[in-house]
Amino acid sequence: MTRSTPNKKQEELIQSTEGVFLADAGPGTGKTFTISLRYAYILDNENTDPDDILLITFTNNAADNMREKIIDLSDYSKSELSEAPISTFHSFCHNILMQHGNEVPALIGIDDTLTRSTKIIENEILEKREFESFMSDFMDRHPEYKDFYRILYDKTDLLDLIKSLGAKGILPKREGWYRNSEKYLDGDFQKFKEMFDQVNEPREGARGKKQSLLKKRLSGYKNKCFLNEAPSMEEIRGEGKQIPERFAEICFEEDRDELKNFVHDVYFEYIEYSLRRNYLNFSLMMMLAYVLICEDHDLRDELSFDYIMIDEFQDTNEIEFKLSLLLSRSGNICAVGDWKQSIFSFQYA
């Protein structure tokens, strides 16, 4: 067994096992070595079995490399760690659904089941084709949303929206939204206004102030279709270098009930479509695993861990972080990532 010597900061993280720790570690900082040694330290010093430690990596190759590193650094053999939960979030959630998720669609009002033959669609081009086929059928069955179809430039933009909502834990039920997640669709005006002001600030140019980034982007919408009640392009542009501030409130306070109904129905019926076609994308798989763990308390207790470690935390989205919190038996979570890559913005934010 080969042992290397960690530096002072690495040693501090390795031996800090109780509580929540967020470690800033970019490329070349010995991140893999530190995580592996921390795992080995917990095994050797905390009277803990490998089954009580969940180690999440971003890729399957990283999981395999981490497992090999831990074998080298700990007193455990390859056979003893072969089934240890060292994996990606996707693999972990897939295993949960295959073993326990047969009836999970019913929890959101879908009369269908998951089976062990349910495929995970990984090919982006194939997934877009499936979604376009779904949308063509949806549009035929829902003429009431014709105004939205008219302004929909690319159908697969809705697929991106579904993935974005799923990454935040926003999921539809047959009637309404799961756990009142609709409130997140309404947003927070203060945060919206801060973002509006930031992109609406005139930019510095070689010859003085230039128009804001927000105003510049309006040119990309010149030949787009808009709802009948939308203000004119000239009205929005105004006369200065910024979009008139009143449009921040006008946009935010717009009645979006019909839009939310449209998004809900597309989202929910796409889940139904996917289950009928016997496939899930990664986003839907994560969401169904989240629902299952939220609703089945006995299963959650069974699957919980004494220690959770997350590598490449900057690549983690909100639903994955929520899953980590749900699965933490003792509140001992260590997340390692690169702050320079916007660790708290999350994927799809």
The 3 state secondary structure assigned to 209-271 is EECCHHHHHHHHHCCCCCCCCCCCHHHHHCCCCCCCCHHHHHHHCCCCHHHHHHHHHHHHHHH
Residue 118 has pLDDT above 80, yes or no: yes
Rounded CA gap, 94 and 118, in Å? 10
DSSP 3-state of 325: helix
Token pair 């763990």 is at which residue?
A: 293
User: How high is the pLDDT of residue 155?
Assistant: 92
CA–CA distance, 181 with 191 (Å, rounded to integer)? 18
Please give the single-letter amino acid code of residue 39.
Y
Yes or no: say if 166 and 93 are a contact pair by the CB < 8 Å rule. Answer: no
CA within 13 Å, CB half, 307: 26
The pLDDT mean for the chain works out to 88
- Cα angle value 180/277/178 (rounded, 5°): 5
Written in H, E and C, the secondary structure of 121-162 is CCCHHHHHHHHHHHHHHHHHHCHHHHHHHHCCCCCHHHHHHH
Length of the chain: 349
Contact 266, 258 (CB under 8 A): no
Q: Judge contact between 26 and 98, C-beta under 8 A.
A: no
**pLDDT given for residue 216 in this prediction:** 85
Which DSSP state fits 328?
A: B
In the predicted model, what is the mean pLDDT of residues 65-94? 90
What does each C-alpha distance from 298 to 179, 183, 285, 291, 295 come to in angstroms?
Answer: 19, 28, 20, 13, 9
Question: CATH for 18-85+305-341?
Answer: 3.40.50.300
Is pLDDT above 70 for 69?
yes
Residue 87 has pLDDT above 60, yes or no: yes
pLDDT digits (tens, 9 = 90+) for 202-252: 898 878 888 888 888 877 666 666 666 777 777 777 778 888 888 888 888
Tokens representing 158 are 């809705």
Distance CA 74, CA 77 (A): 8
Give the predicted TM-score (pTM) of the model: 0.84
Identify the DSSP state of 342: T
Give residue-wise pLDDT tens across range 252-301: 888 889 999 999 999 999 999 999 999 999 999 999 999 999 999 999 99
Write down the residue that tokens 């690169």 correspond to: 338
With a pLDDT cut of 90, the percent of the chain lying above it is: 51
Q: State the pLDDT confidence band at 136, using cuts at 50, 70 and 90.
A: very high
Q: Give me the pLDDT at residue 227, please.
A: 65
pLDDT of 5 reads 80
How do beta strands 53-57 and 86-88 pair? parallel
User: Where in the chain are the domains?
Assistant: 18-85+305-341, 104-185+257-284, 189-252
- 3-state DSSP call for residue 335? strand
Q: What is the pLDDT of residue 137?
A: 97
In order, the DSSP letters of 152-207 are -S-THHHHHHHHHHHHTT--B-SSSBGGGTTHHHH--HHHHHHHHHHHTSPEEETT
Helix extents (H) in 277-317: 282-295, 297-303
C-alpha angle 237-242-245 in degrees, rounded to nearest 5: 90
